[in-house]
């Protein structure tokens, strides 16, 4: 049920994309204390010039990303700060996207508003 969606103007190789997604999945499960088999990571990157990111008034100043984290429970001020720090560090390390060019959004979703396998979690 945790979802991490990243949109970025960075182009990553297939191995780097896989590494980023796998590490984000483990990190998210660990920090949120959720089973990893419920974590979904979506990486939407600039592979065909259809993702344009303007950050700080300039799209030319470097790579940037938006990260959307959603979960049924587990989110809160301290957890969100922990996730923000660890996700930004990982994006810098694996994808060469500096933390100062990353925005993150955290949404706690009610179980009844999250569907899976023909039903909902609430």
For residue 85, what is the domain's CATH number?
3.30.429.10
For tokens 């060469």, name the residue: 96
Residue 50 lies in a domain: yes
pLDDT at 108: 96
Quote the number of domains for the chain.
1
Say whether pLDDT at 82 is over 80: yes
Residue 119 lies in a domain: no
Q: Is position 62 within any domain?
A: no
Residue 111 has pLDDT above 60, yes or no: yes
Q: In what order do the strands lie in the sheet with 102-108?
A: 40-45, 3-8, 65-71, 102-108
For residue 117, tell me if it sits in a domain: no
Beta strands in 1-122 (DSSP E): 3-8, 40-45, 65-71, 102-108, 115-116, 119-120
Q: Is residue 49 over pLDDT 60?
A: no
In a domain, 107, yes or no: yes
Q: Is this structure's pTM higher than 0.75?
A: yes
In a domain, 63, yes or no: no
Give domain status of residue 8, yes or no: yes
Does position 80 have pLDDT exceeding 80, yes or no?
yes
């Amino acid at each position: 049920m945790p979802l991490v969606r990243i949109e970025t103007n960075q182009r990553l190789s297939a191995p780097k994309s896989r590494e980023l997604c796998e590490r984000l999945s483990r990190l998210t499960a660990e920090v949120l204390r959720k089973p990893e088999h419920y974590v979904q990571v979506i990486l939407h990157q600039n592979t065909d010039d259809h993702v344009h990111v303007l950050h700080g008034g300039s799209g030319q100043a470097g790579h940037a990303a938006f990260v959307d984290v959603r979960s049924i429970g587990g989110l809160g001020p301290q957890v969100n700060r922990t996730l923000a720090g660890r996700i930004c560090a990982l994006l810098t390390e694996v994808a060469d996207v500096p933390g100062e060019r990353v925005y993150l959004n955290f949404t706690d979703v009610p179980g009844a508003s999250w569907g899976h396998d023909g039903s909902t979690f609430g």
